[in-house]
Amino acid sequence: MKIIIINGPNLNLLGKREPEVYGSTTFDSYFAELQSKFSELQLEYYQSNIEGELIDKIQEVGFSYDGIILNAAAYTHTSVGLGDVVKAINTPVVEVHISNTHKREDFRHVSYISSGAKGVILGFGLKSYELAIRSFL
């Protein structure tokens, strides 16, 4: 089973970015944990700060992979293009957020991704990604 985690802008800074909101673990070390926990899966990881690159990656994997776990980060709340590509592909997308965006500022309550997603998991810290993987199993 081929699953890819796609992270959007500023998530490359996990570990040093607002640790009180996002924790102090880097995504690279968390991803290594996920790979050993789910060694039976072909688990991949991609991150970009650039909206068009995220769209390109989703188009590239979205007709052949078994699952996409997408944390579009700030683009969640702004990007019609990312919302459209999630609807355009065949691979199911689970939307993930580390923080509970509904407990935060009003602009974070809107998601352009959710209406095309298979489901949404948010607010469980980095564990949200593990829960998303489990949702595909």
User: What does the per-residue mask of binding to ligand DQA show for 106-125, with x meaning CB under 6 A?
Assistant: --x-----------------
- Other C-beta atoms lying within 10 Å of the C-beta of residue 30: 20
> Do residues 19 and 59 lie in contact, with contact meaning Cβ atoms separated by under 8 Å?
no
Among 69, 73, 89, 94, binds ligand DQA (CB under 6 A): 73
- Cβ atoms of residues 15 and 25 within 8 Å: yes
Binding of ligand DQA at residue 49 (CB under 6 A)?
no
Query: How is the chain split among helix, strand and coil, in percent rounded to 5?
Result: 45, 20, 35
Smallest distance from the beta carbon of 133 to ligand DQA, in angstroms? 16
**97 labelled catalytic:** yes
- Residues at the interface with ligand DQA (CB under 6 A): 10, 71, 73-74, 76, 97-99, 101, 108
Known catalytic residues are 22, 97
